A and B are shown apart, each in its own frame.
Chain A
Amino acid sequence: MASKLSGRIVTALAYILLTAYALLSIYPFLWMVSSAFKSNQEVLGSQSLIPSEIHFEVLINTWNQLDFFKYFINSLIIVVIAVVVIILIYSMAGFGFSKTNFVGKNVLFMAFLGLLFVPGVTVLVPLVQLLRALGLIGRDATQTATYAGLILPIINGAGPLSIFLFRNYFNTLPHDLYDAARVDGASIWRIYLRIFLPLATPIIATIGILNFIGIWNGFIWPSIVLNNPDWYTLPLKLKDLDLQIVIQWNVRMAGSLIMVIPVIIVFLLLQRYYISGLTAGAVRG
């Protein structure tokens, strides 16, 4: 009887903790949403989440006057190209490392993993020099950078972790699948494409979301490569709002909301796969 009671108390405590932290965790986001519909005066003056008067025009003006659609599309193009290529080439690499054998496999894998520990800032200067030499980056503000110059280093940067997660995931799939298909005469390309890739949906979702978030929010690298404001991504445009003399917090929050919404939609749609892929890659690996 006593243990039953203490069990209930523990469960109650669990719910209290969860509720408290969940509020803490979503509060900044709720505040962002509510501020996007307030006047600037009210943002600064009131701690209430519910606007006294709903100003839809803040969001609409931000979208229209600041031409957010253009930057939204800029961001979207870069993210979609990068994520598709990342999933394609690193699922192949993960499969190669997990299910096939070739000379130097382990050394190569360790080389990729080693790159995880190289701070991103280490290679910024060399990358800029390299892209200039290859003609993939504008030499000054009058020239536009090419997509390749912006995206290829992003893809490579996502490599080590993606390969690691894909390989670990493929390792959890039975090797018998591979052998059976081999006996049936399927080529390794067919085995990869028809058997293993479809089974990898959770890890594809995980790596897709992980990189979608990272690239969508990425600031430093685009700010170095993109010297033509027409090519700016959403974060760069949002940062540009700082140039105004008086900070319009409601406009900032409206811009932030526009930036955050696509990520939240993608996350909510793929959440279940995302979590299972994340934990399979990290915990079981």
Chain B
Amino acid sequence: MLECPNVVLVIVGLPDALAYPATHFASHISTVADASINSLNRVSPSLNRKRSRTIGQWLRENSGILFVLPAIILFLVFGLYTVIYSFVLSFFRWNGFGKFSLIPFVCNAPTCQPAGLDNFAQFLYKEPTLSRFFWQAMQHNIIMAVVVTAGTILLALPLAVALNRAVRGRALYRTALMLPMVTAGIAVYYVWSFIYEPDGLLNGVLQTIGLGFLQAKQGWLGQPDRALISLMIVMIWGAVPLATILYLAGLQTIEKDLYEAAVMDGASAWQQLARITWPLLLPVTVIIVITSINSVLQGYEMVYLMTYGGPAGHTEVVGLQIFKYGFGDQRQLGVASAMSWALFILVFLIALVNLRLFRPQTEG
């Protein structure tokens, strides 16, 4: 089945095998055939359908889909099905006991009941506790998205410019800069957790350099006024490497002549940055902004491992809330699904707005 196109070619080319490389000739024939079939298709598709030959032809033209088939099968089962399941579930009230199933559809009372739009109403405004936690988490998410994205860009761009300038030792610096990206996960969260301990590294260093008044006595992750900023520092630390590498690649595509011409015209270093570097790097910035916002809004693993939303909900994020409603002590799977769709819509809209806003410049 997989080798079908090749077999057809060989058979067609066989008579001429001695005089001419078989496959060469065959593919020539087949391209001519392709072309004529294509033009016929455009003129009168109904005429063509009667020819049985065209089915084989059609299969051959579309055989590229076989490359995508394994991905499609996984996508249908573990992607599309689960997305639809979660969408449907967001209109039901279900505590996880008993059964909720799509194919065949099962939702048995009393553990599962249709809820209409009530799940959405619950966490958006109706239920005081639910909605307070949701909006608090959403607020944290938005603060994180803005601060982490801005912080990442503000650090990564100068670093990339510096790397581009530093010819000697560039490889070494680049390796050092990329390390946070490689060593993500629980191992690194443990190191940071220690740094943030009451008797940890950060408080110790602050004491040593005479900034003891800045110390967090109950630990950086333990104090309501410090926990969120502490998490954002780790996020920025982890996001700067990729952004720097992307900016560096972008910088290397900018022609040196532009800067030389600008210098001739008497442009200052600042003007060069504002008029040449920044506008030409805008497409890279758009990619960084989108991926950064996306990962901040979707991510919750770091929060889960470092604070679990504490102290007293001061680092709660929407992803973690959804997780808690889905797998915590008091399961409300319908609410969890509804909330995750609200998050999806937000992520999607922000990405669309970003692309729309920056499209004219990126094309120019």
Please give the residue numbers on chain A whose beta carbons come within 8 Å of chain B beta carbons, in ascending order. 3, 6, 10-11, 13-15, 17-19, 21-22, 24-26, 28-29, 31-32, 35, 43-44, 47, 89-90, 92-93, 95-97, 99-103, 105, 108, 111-112, 115-127, 129-130, 133, 152-153, 155-156, 159, 163, 182-190, 192, 209, 213, 216-220, 224, 235, 238-239, 249, 252-253, 255-257, 259-260, 263-264, 267-268, 271, 275, 278-279, 282-283
- State the 3 A-B residue pairs at the shortest beta-carbon distance, nearest first: A185-B23, A100-B64, A217-B185
Q: What residues on A are CB-neighbors of B194 within 8 Å?
A: 31, 35, 43, 249, 252-253
Q: List chain A residues, Cβ under 8 A from B63.
A: 100, 102, 188
Query: Chain A nearest CB: distance from B156 CB in Å?
Result: 10
**Within the complex, what minimum Cβ distance (angstroms) separates A241 from chain B?**
9
Q: Is the CB of B187 within 8 A of A188?
A: no
- CB of A117 within 8 A of CB of B187, answer no
Known contacts A25-B180, A102-B61, A120-B298, A283 near B186 by CB under 8 Å:
no
Minimum CB–CB distance from A280 to chain B (whole Å) comes to: 8
Closest to B340 in A: A122
Instruction: Out of B74, B185, B186, B300, name the residue touching A152 (CB < 8 Å).
Output: B74
Across the interface, do A28 and B192 meet the contact criterion of CB distance under 8 Å? yes
Q: Which of B220-276 contact A (CB under 8 A)?
A: 237, 240-242, 245-246, 248-250, 253, 263, 269
- Report which of A47, A99, A159, A279 forms a contact with B71, defined as CB distance below 8 A: A159
Chain B interface (Cβ within 8 Å of chain A)?
2-3, 5-6, 9, 13, 21-24, 26-28, 31, 61-68, 70-72, 74-75, 77-83, 85-86, 89, 100-101, 155, 158-159, 161-163, 165-166, 173-188, 190-192, 194-195, 199, 201, 204-205, 208, 237, 240-242, 245-246, 248-250, 253, 263, 269, 283-284, 287, 294, 297-298, 300-301, 304-305, 319, 322-323, 326-327, 333, 336-337, 340-341, 343-344, 347-348, 351
State the Cβ distance, B52 to closest chain A Cβ, in Å: 19
Taking a contact as CB atoms under 8 Å apart, the answer to whether B186 and A25 are in contact is no
Complex Cα distance, B65 from A99, in Å, reads 11
What would 15 A/B residue contacts be, using CB atoms closer than 8 Å? A18-B163, A25-B176, A28-B188, A31-B194, A92-B70, A99-B64, A102-B68, A108-B68, A130-B77, A130-B78, A133-B101, A183-B28, A259-B185, A263-B183, A278-B245
13 additional A-B residue pairs with CB within 8 Å, beyond A18-B173, A115-B79:
A6-B269, A14-B162, A25-B237, A28-B195, A32-B191, A92-B68, A92-B71, A105-B65, A115-B75, A115-B83, A187-B3, A188-B67, A220-B301
Which of B22, B80, B269, B298 is the one whose CB lies under 8 Å from A185?
Answer: B22
User: In the complex, what distance in Å separates the CA atom of A43 from the CA atom of B178?
Assistant: 26
Instruction: Give chain B nearest CB distance to A219 CB in angstroms.
Output: 6
Contacts of B61 in A (CB 8 A): 101-102
Contacts known (A125-B89, A279-B249); A239 close to B305, Cβ less than 8 A: yes
In the bound complex, what is the Cα–Cα distance between A239 and B21 (angstroms)? Answer: 64
Known contacts A17-B162, A28-B192, A121-B322; A185 and B21 CB within 8 A of each other: yes
A94 closest partner in B (C-beta): B67
In the complex the two chains form, is B250's CB within 8 Å of A283's CB?
yes
- Most central of A18, A22, A213 by chain B CB within 10 Å: A18
Whole-angstrom CA separation of A105 from B301 in the bound complex: 34
CB pair B86–A29 under 8 Å, yes or no, is: no
Which residues of the partner chain B approach A117 to less than 8 Å between Cβ atoms? 294, 344, 347-348, 351
Bound form: Cα–Cα A46–B2 in Å: 65
Q: With A and B bound together, what is the CA distance between A249 and B201 in angstroms?
A: 13
* A188-B64 contact given A22-B176, A117-B294, A283-B250, CB 8 Å threshold: yes
The reply to whether A282 and B71 form a contact with Cβ atoms under 8 Å apart is: no
- Which B residues lie within 8 Å of A43 (CB)? 194
Which of B66, B74, B177 has the most chain A CB within a 10 Å cutoff?
B74
Q: Are B70's CB and A93's CB within 8 A?
A: yes
- Provide the residues of chain A in CB contact with B6, threshold 8 Å: 185, 187, 189-190
Question: Could you say which residues of chain B place their CB within 8 Å of the CB of A216?
Answer: 185
**Are A130 and B85 in contact (CB-based, < 8 A)?**
yes
B71 touches A122 (CB 8 A): no
- Are A122 and B86 closer than 8 Å at their CB atoms? yes
Complex interface: chain B residues within 8 A of A32 (CB): 187-188, 190-191
Closest residue of chain B to A152 (Cβ to Cβ) is B78
- Measured CB to CB, the nearest residue on chain A to B199 is A44
- Give complex CA distance A127, B337 in Å: 12
Measured CB to CB, the closest approach of chain B to A270, in angstroms, equals 11
A69 shortest CB reach to chain B, Å:
17
Chain B residue with minimal CB distance to A179? B31
A125 touches B245 (CB 8 A): no
User: CB-CB < 8 A to A14: which residues of B?
Assistant: 161-163, 165-166
Interchain CB contact under 8 A, A185 and B27: yes
CA distance A188 to B312 in the complex (A): 59
* Interface contact A112-B326, CB-CB below 8 Å: no
A89 touches B70 (CB 8 A): yes
Would B166 and A89 count as touching, CB distance under 8 A?
no
Complex alpha-carbon distance, A274 and B3, angstroms: 33
Given A119-B347, A185-B23, residue A129 in contact with residue B101 (CB < 8 A): yes
Residues on B with beta carbons closer than 8 Å to the beta carbon of A260? 183, 187-188
Chain B proximity of A193: nearest CB distance (Å): 11
Check A156 against B23 for contact (C-beta < 8 Å).
Answer: no
